[in-house]
Amino acid sequence: MTRTSEPRQEARTLDQRLFQSGQGRVIILPRRRGADKRNTNAWGRGLLIMGYERFDSRTPPVSFERKIVMSSPFPGMDPFLEHPDIFPDLHDRLNTHLSEVLQAGLPPPYYAVIGRRTWIEVSQRYIGPDVQVQRSRRGSSSAQELLGGVAVAAAVKPKVVRVPHDERREPFLEVYIRQGSGKRLVTSIEILSLTNKTPREHGRELYLRKQREILGSKVHLVEIDLLRGGEHSTAVPCQRVRAEVGPFEYHVCVHHFDNLEDYFIYPIQLDERLPQIAIPLLPGDPAVMIDLQAVLDHCYDAGPYAREVSYQADTLVPPLGPDQQEWAKGVLQRTLPGQ
Q: How many CB atoms lie within 10 A of CB 203?
A: 20
pLDDT tens per residue, range 160-171: 876 655 556 789
pLDDT value for 148? 57
Side chain identity at residue 307, one-letter code = R
- 116, 300, 96, 86: which is closest to 194 by C-alpha? 86
pLDDT at 125 over 70: no
Between CA 172 and CA 115 the distance in angstroms is 5
pTM for the full predicted model: 0.71
Instruction: Give the rounded distance of the alpha carbon of 155 from its chain centre.
Output: 55
Strand partners, 27: 67
Best CA proximity match to 298, nearest among 67, 53, 144, 41: 67
pLDDT tens-place string over residues 274-299? 999 999 999 999 999 999 999 999 99
CA distances to 130, 167, 204, 228 from 195, rounded to whole Å, are 25, 13, 6, 13
Helix axes 87-105, 292-302, angle to 10 degrees: 130
